[in-house]
Structure 1
Amino acid sequence: MRIGILGLGRIGAFHAETLSALDAVESLVVADPVADAAKAAAERFGAQVADSPEALLAAGVDGLVIAAATDVHPELIRAGLAAGVPVFCEKPVARTMAEGVGVLRDVRDSGVPVQIGYQRRFDAGYAAARAAVRAGELGALHTVRCVGLDPAPPPAAYIAGSGGIFRDCSVHDFDILRWVTGREVAEVYAVGGNRGADYIREAGDADTTGAVLTLDDGTLVTVSNSRHNARGYDVRMELHGFADSLAVGLDDKLPIRSAEPGVTFPEGTPHGFFMDRFADAYRAELTAFTEVVAGTRPSPCTVEDALEAGWIAEACTLSLRGHRPVTLAEVRTA
């Protein structure tokens, strides 16, 4: 099959590399407003260069991968829908929830499959945790702990357009929480601080946050995120039930060290960033997209799924600003 890629920045180039190695993908067509980025990808992966999204879609692609800036996600998704081409789009669906709801309506009307990029759903550890929860191995859950710590903050330009830490970082924890537990979030209470880069504070964002989420069955969840973790990229989940407990992310590359005498775990080189921590998951995610394109499976992460994570991020943002608990029902009607 022939896959088009719009956007050849860090994640777009990474996707191009991954797709070029998949047996199902015969050729790539790439486009980026920065001509040198498209040219570099074409030379590296033997791709055809298109000078616009319209030209790319006219090149006869079977599937469309969107890795461009968030602001243009809605229009590019709609372009794929109009062409009848299955779409893979990096999160988020749109800059605002109102825009995202509009995209969802158009996706439903079109009948064209759209997959949103939440790669943790394809990580072996998270998949095993989901299976354990669904099989009842842990008993009823009472506590879930999620951790997502970046080694360093993104640049100021990214922060200015990201929509805030809950929308661009914590949202991965919110999505995987729903996917693993099979439950919905009923209420949130979020706090945040800023003790690092000044440009994050100046953008009205926080660089370190904590949120307590209450699920619809009463399970308590903590979500801890930070832009600053000098030891590396740390993403984990703990699930505690009345019958057993389970953790995702406790491997030899865990970026933390033990203070206990004689304990050498973890012994490996810490994860440096998301692309090495989730390399296998990204490959599985894009393999799944080729199956969506081929019509052999439905979208494994729909626009509806992405918007559910987005509503949780919206509630946490409102909670942080208002210093109060916020229900999901409140933001859905705002």
Structure 2
Amino acid sequence: MKDVILGLVGVGRIGVMHANNIAALNTEFTGQGISVKLRLTDVAEDHARTVAAGLGAEFLPSVDALIASGIQGLVVATGTGTHPELIRAGVDAGIPVFCEKPVAMNVADSLPVLEHIRAKDGVVQIGHQRRFDAGYLEAKRAYQAGELGWIHSLRAVTCDMTPPPVEFLATSGGLFRDCSVHDFDILRWLTGREIVEVYARGSNNGDPAIGGVGDVDTALAVMTFDDGTVGTVSASRYNGAGHDVRLEIQGSKGSLMVGLDEKSALKSAEEGITFPAGESHTTFAERFDTAYRSEMAAFVELVLGRRANPCTPEDAVAASRVADAAQESLASGAPVRVALAVAPAA
């Protein structure tokens, strides 16, 4: 049995989710003669020890100790401000790194990290989990197969049921960077096109404290792609019907809706229509549970050298360029051209 040892930094909400998914990977890989093991660390030592004990994982007292322990891959699930230094640490150690999006707080801070990764010939997978969601994968397949014809309209929606703490929003970089960046990434990935201009508007009708930290609770961006196709990306922190993530793709031959199922957070106003009848998701973790697990399995395969990188830092920074432009447009009230992307969509 071959061991693959992953080191995890950060055991907040998403870190615990990743830790559980890593621990569960043994079931998937055991039949391939591979044992996936987990070691973890966090500055909140007592909490990290408890998480480790519950998963049969090993706790290490620091990032340096974690890397020195002989891990073969580093998973970064800490706050955005720490991403650059932790990516560099893993790359300098010569091991593949998985890092939750984004690479850094903004594009300007991301570029030196990209340069470091390239200089060291590092391998870094960024966590845009929607690339592993079955609905988005099917939509990309259908589009590439020509089943939709040429696309005339794209409408992406990402709405949280309730807002995160204001303390988080104060450091998140804004609704487009924190939330809609997933839509910007998946639209580039699905269409293979670049977003070249955005025009954004926003509102604050919920907690005034959100506006007090410089953010909005609801926003809409009108996008133009490099081939002239138009689309919209909308987001909200106050979707009481449930966590709602959808993408409507309308083409010259056909249309598809990603995220339209029995758990969709909407109801029909038409008489006699009971679909969807299921209970809506309440958080992103439920909506993308399978995608998150597939994403981590892909990282193990990347560590083993069995697959290409499914989401490069260049891809992530290209999406962040759009998010930065959307935030700029939101502040200025004018359309903003998107700076040239660092790499084409995968």
TM-score, normalized by length of structure 2?
0.94
> What's the Cα RMSD here?
1.2
Distance 1:331 1:301, change over 3 A: closer
2:158 is equivalent to residue 137 of structure 1 = no
* Equivalence for 2:81: 71
Partner of 2:173: 163
C-alpha displacement at 1:111, in angstroms? 1.3
Matched residues in 1 for 2:36 and 2:206: separation? 46
- State the distance in 1 between where 2:340 and 2:261 align: 39
Q: How does 1:209-224 map to 2 (within 5 A)?
A: 209-224=219-234
| TM-score, reference length from structure 1 | 0.97
Aligned residues: 332
Match of 1:272 in 2: 282
Cα shift at 1:330: 8.3
Tell me how far 1:175 sits from its aligned partner.
0.4
Structure 2: give runs of 5+ residues left out of the alignment.
Answer: 30-34
Say which SS state the counterpart of residue 262 (structure 1) adopts. coil
In the alignment, which residue of structure 1 is the partner of 2:190?
A: 180
Match of 2:319 in 1: 309
**Offset of residue 136 of structure 1:** 1.2
CA shift, 1:135, in A, is 1.1
2:98 aligned residue: 88
Unaligned runs of 5+ in 1: none
Determine whether 1:259 maps to 2:269. Answer: yes
Residue in structure 1 matched with residue 246 of structure 2 by the alignment: 236
Contact 2:106–2:324 (8 Å) recurs in 1: no
Cα distance in 1 between the residues matched to 2:136 and 2:263: 16
Establish whether residue 21 from structure 1 lines up as the match of residue 24 from structure 2: yes
Q: Quote the Cα distance in structure 1 between the aligned partners of 2:321 and 2:217.
A: 20
In the alignment, structure 1 residue 324 sits paired with structure 2 residue 327:
no
- 2-structure distance, mates of 1:164, 1:329: 19
Does structure 2 conserve the Cα–Cα contact (< 8 Å) formed by 1:315 and 1:331? Answer: no
Is the aligned partner of 1:49 residue 2:59? yes
| Residue matched to 2:15 | 12
DSSP 3-state at the match of 1:288: helix
Q: Deviations over 1:91-122 (max 9, x none)?
A: 11011211101111111111121000000000
User: Secondary structure of the equivalent of 2:154?
Assistant: strand
Residues 321, 339 of structure 2: 8 Å contact kept: no
Q: Is the contact made by 1:120 and 1:126 (CA closer than 8 Å) also made in structure 2?
A: yes
8 Å CA contact retained: 2:22, 2:36: no
